[in-house]
A and B are shown apart, each in its own frame.
Chain A
Amino acid sequence: MTVHRRARQVGGAVAIVLAVLFSTISSSMSQELSAEMRSVVAEANKEGALKVVWPGTLLGGARGLPIIEQNMNRMFGTNVKLSHTPTGSLIQQGFQLINEAKANAPASTDIYIAVVNVFQTLTQNSVLLPVKWQALLPGRITPELVELDGAALKIATGSYGVTYNSKLVPNPPKTLAGFLDPAFKGKIATNPQGVGFDYLLANDVMGRDKALDYVKQFSPQIGGLIFCTDQNRVASGEFVAMMFDCGPNDAIRMKESGLPVDQVLLRDHMPVTYFYGTIPRNAPHPNAAKVLLAYLMTEEGQRLQWDLWRADLHLLPGSRLAERMQAAAKDGAKPLEVDAKWYSEHPEVDANRADVLKIIRGGR
Chain B
Amino acid sequence: MPGDQGTMRLVADPPAPLSGGRALSTPSRISLRNWDPWRAGLLVLVIVTSGVIGGNLLFIFWSSVLDGSVGDLGNSYSLANYVEIFSDPFVAQVFLNSTLFAAVTLVVAFAFGIPIAWLATRTDLARKSLLFTLMTVALLIPGFIPAIGWTFLLHPNVGLINSLLESVFGSWAVLSISNVVGMGWVQGLSLAPLAFIMTASAFRAMDPALEEAAAMAGANPLSTFVIVTLRLAWPALLAASIFIFTIGFAAVDAPVIIGWGKRIFTYSTYILTLLNPTSGPPLYGAAAAASAPLVIWALVMCWIYNDMQKRARRYQVISGKGYKPSLVSLGSLRWVATTFIVVFFTLNTVLPVIVLSWAAFLPFLQVPSSTSLAMLSFDNFLTIDWSSVLSALKNTVILMIAVATIATVLSFAFSWIVLRSDIRGRGFFDVFAFLPHVVPTTLFSISTLLIALFVIGPVVPIYGTLWILIIASVIVRISYGSRMTNSAMIQIHRELDEAAQMSGASTGVLILRVLLPLMAPALLFSWLWTALLTCRDLTVVMFLTTASNLTMPYIIWSNFAFGAPGAAAVLALLMLIVTLPLIFAYAKALDRWNLI
Contact = CB atoms under 8 A, between A and B. Distances in A.
Interface of A: 51, 53, 55-58, 61-63, 65, 83-89, 91-92, 95-96, 98-100, 102-103, 105, 108-109, 117-118, 120-121, 189, 192-195, 198, 222-227, 229, 231-233, 235-238, 250, 253-254, 257-259, 350, 353, 357-358, 361-364
B174 to A, nearest CB: 14
A347 to B, nearest CB: 11
Binding site of A, secondary structure by majority: helix, strand, loop or mixed? Answer: mixed
B366 to A, nearest CB: 5
A236 B453 contact: no
Contacts of A121: 279-281
B76 to A, nearest CB: 17
Interface in B258-282: 260-263, 265, 269, 273, 275-282
A155 B279 CA distance: 21
A102 B562 contact: no
B151 A85 contact: no
A80 B371 CA distance: 42
A222 B282 CA distance: 26
A362 B449 contact: no
B6 interface: no
Nearest to B461: A105
A78 B454 CA distance: 37
B385 A364 contact: no
Among A88, A238, A257, the most chain B Cβ lie within 10 Å of the Cβ of A88
Nearest to A189: B261
Contacts of A231: 364, 563
Contacts of A363: 263
Nearest to B457: A103
Contacts of A257: 363-364, 375
A51 B546 CA distance: 11
A91 B276 contact: yes
Nearest to A65: B385
A10 B490 CA distance: 77
Instruction: Bin the interface of chain B by size.
Output: 35 or more
10 contacts: A57-B564, A83-B387, A86-B554, A92-B276, A109-B547, A120-B279, A222-B263, A223-B261, A236-B365, A238-B261
Nearest to A259: B364
B543 to A, nearest CB: 7
A86 B278 contact: no
Nearest to B258: A224
Contact of B265 (A91, A92, A195, A361): A361
Given A192-B260, A362-B265, A92 B280 contact: no
A100 B453 CA distance: 7
B54 interface: no
Nearest to A257: B363
Contact of B562 (A57, A193, A225): A57
B85 to A, nearest CB: 13
Contacts of B157: 237-238
Given A105-B453, A226-B261, A55 B371 contact: no
Contacts of A56: 558-559, 562-564, 567
Nearest to B566: A232
B542 interface: yes
Given A99-B449, A224-B260, A254 B371 contact: no
Given A61-B383, A105-B453, A362 B93 contact: yes
Given A61-B383, A100-B453, A102-B71, A235 B366 contact: yes
Contacts of B367: 236-237
A348 B240 CA distance: 49
Q: Closest 9 interchain pairs by CB?
A: A62-B385, A55-B562, A86-B558, A229-B563, A117-B279, A224-B261, A103-B453, A85-B547, A102-B71
A253 B473 CA distance: 38
Contacts of B277: 91, 193
A258 B276 contact: no
Contact of B457 (A95, A105, A194, A364): A105
Nearest to B375: A257
Nearest to A53: B547
B350 interface: no
Contacts of B178: 224
Nearest to A363: B263
A58 B565 contact: no
A224 B90 CA distance: 17
B160 to A, nearest CB: 11
Given A56-B563, A83-B387, A87-B558, 19 more contacts: A62-B385, A65-B385, A83-B388, A85-B550, A86-B555, A88-B542, A89-B561, A96-B546, A98-B281, A103-B454, A108-B464, A224-B178, A224-B260, A224-B263, A235-B366, A259-B364, A353-B279, A361-B265, A362-B90
A105 B463 contact: yes
A100 B567 CA distance: 30
A200 to B, nearest CB: 13
Contacts of B565: 232
B557 interface: yes
A335 B82 CA distance: 41
A92 to B, nearest CB: 7
A103 B71 contact: yes
A91 B562 CA distance: 13
A121 B178 CA distance: 37
A299 to B, nearest CB: 25
A89 B280 contact: no
Contacts of A198: 278
Nearest to A94: B281
A351 B93 CA distance: 25
A223 B385 CA distance: 36
Nearest to A84: B385
B450 interface: yes
Given A91-B277, A108-B547, A238-B158, A229 B71 contact: no
A60 to B, nearest CB: 8
A234 to B, nearest CB: 10
A227 B449 CA distance: 26
Contact of B281 (A57, A61, A95, A233): A95
A358 B91 CA distance: 11
A253 B362 CA distance: 13
B537 to A, nearest CB: 14
A92 B542 contact: yes
A188 B364 CA distance: 19
Contacts of B375: 257-258
B364 A61 contact: no
B155 interface: yes
Given A53-B547, A238-B151, A363-B263, A232 B366 contact: yes
B280 A258 contact: no
A121 B278 CA distance: 12
B384 interface: yes
Nearest to B383: A63
B12 interface: no
B374 interface: yes
A118 B90 CA distance: 26
Contact of B261 (A55, A58, A84, A225): A225
B546 A85 contact: yes
Nearest to A187: B157
A254 B383 CA distance: 16
